[in-house]
Structure 1
């Protein structure tokens, strides 16, 4: 038990008899036995076992044990745990790094975010990715400068995660650089993420970038632009969305249809009525819902005719729309 002899004192100080009963298995030479014992230890949800879990993550010679420790530590917001998980992002075994990244991503406290934040500038791109991913939903204002810097990262995955942090923060100061990324970044996923993040505010300054994104070579970016224009909620987006109803990809047309309803863009009435007879049922359904939101009784005749649609989801959408108009 060479790898365990210098850590016996951790369990020596534990008073919980259930944990002491596990000791022989926690210190077993077989890593499979140790891993299962860690699971049993975590089931107690006793802080007395926390130091042992952290220790196994840091020094156990078996990757399967370190990985299990990383997974089991996801429920703990303790600063020592967060630091150990951050350190595990550089573990030599990919499975351990992945487990640590996943556990960090479910943390909820700002204090945990402050421990994670310095790792967003780590030399390894995978570590930066994991750090930004963990910071995203914490909405830690202090992360904004690092995320803005991350938008210039050479690694596309880092840029994408940095965009996510700024989007969750609703950081208005980042609008200009996000708009630039949405139009010019070489990576499709980054352009798509940046396009989505532009919906963080109802600001007319984002409209040129979103209109440009509606013309992007990648349909996924165009789809995101059509969605985001609806979220921004500005009537000026209407003409571009109407034009998107003829996009080569139905996914883009669907999002444009939905956004026109959200905007209540009345000049789209004729185009939406035409979409109500499209061969793709999802488009017909969204057209019906959008016509209801438009609130224009000029859609009544088309909606009444659509009550006989062969798709039950379309018929349901038509009933909703008619209830809104009558």
Structure 2
């Protein structure tokens, strides 16, 4: 490796260490270059990505996280397929740190072809950049036939493609996302697909898919569906969310209560009042907050009782709900705290 400007004594010392036969010394030299954060040193760090020692390659990949130029991004994209997992993870991390949307032009060629793990890492980086051009390769992933759809790399690829499409709110992807939300063989893929559907505020098919996901075998998928239905702001979803208040998992009930509050559906008051007596305090808190958002005065007697709940967060939520329903009722005095 050569450093062009050897007038600087610090660079002279780094240059000497980069030529060392000791991998530890070379690694420290790479770290020193990274600390300088000078884009002029990008070729040296990219060259270090080909070092014989995995630790040196990983250090170089991490040092490149601040270098937003084509040389750095192309080098990191190649490192995504390194034989060493630590190097791959470091390269993926650095690409995910990209902030300039212009970097997408160098990433996009790697999103549509190549090993699944490489494409997944590239799509993860593109997701943060929110560049419309990334929708094409992401949507193509959802239409691909995978020989082993439950393989680790294939799962990661579908998950990251879904993330790109959800971030972009890409309407043409809705049919594919709805299909994955109810039929993908992997729980985690169904969960992220459900979450991505939350942007489809006027789409009845998306709502139908989310309501179906409320009956999924995985409680994490049902939990995500209950959250997404609230974000859709479609009143027709209230009935399915009320049914979810009887879910065996309190985490699903909690999200359903929160979403019912967002929908402000008065038919939901009675089941939310029942949730005020649940043994899990977090669910009681969410039920109280939802009742406040709905604003039905019929909830006041139960909220008055909840304002003396043993849990301080439930008491606080009940008092806030009472204030929302009608200022004349005011925050209820908490005898345990004198306010």
Range of TM-score over shorter length: over 0.9
Aligned to 1:212: 212
Is the 1:215–1:222 contact (alpha carbons within 8 Å) kept by the matching residues of 2? yes
Runs of 4+ in 1 over 6 A off after TM superposition: none
Matched with 1:3 is: none
Contact 1:152 1:159 in 2 (8 A): no
The 5-angstrom pairing of residues 39-188 of structure 1 reads 39-57=31-49, 59-153=50-144, 154=146, 155-188=154-187
Q: Partner of 2:307: helix, strand, or coil?
A: helix
Instruction: Give the number of aligned pairs.
Output: 317
CA deviation after TM superposition for structure 1 residue 128, in Å: 1.6
Cα distance in 1 for partners of 2:110, 2:6 equals 32
Alpha-carbon distance, 1:17 to partner: 3.6
Preserved contact between residue 306 and residue 315 of structure 1 (Cα < 8 Å)? yes
Other structure's SS at 1:122 match: coil
Q: Any gaps of 5 or more consecutive residues in structure 2?
A: 147-153, 327-339
SS at match of 2:278: coil
Write the distance in 2 (CA, Å) between the matches of 1:299 and 1:156: 45
Conserved in 2, the CA contact under 8 Å of 1:54 and 1:69? yes
The answer for the alignment partner of 1:24 in structure 2 is 16
Change (3 A) 1:75 1:272: same
Relative to structure 1, the CA distance from residue 48 to residue 268 in structure 2 (aligned partners, 3 Å threshold; closer, same or farther) is: same
Q: How does 1:172-321 map to 2 (within 5 A)?
A: 172-205=171-204, 206-321=206-321
Return the offset for 1:253: 0.5
Between the aligned partners of 1:45 and 1:160, the Cα distance in structure 2 is: 32
Deviation at 1:15, TM superposition (A): 4.6
Matched residue SS, 1:22: helix
Q: TM-score, normalised by structure 1?
A: 0.93
Answer yes or no: is the 8 Å Cα contact 1:151–1:158 preserved in 2: no
CA offset digits 1:215-244 (Å, max 9, x no partner) = 111111111110000000111100000000
Higher helix share: 1
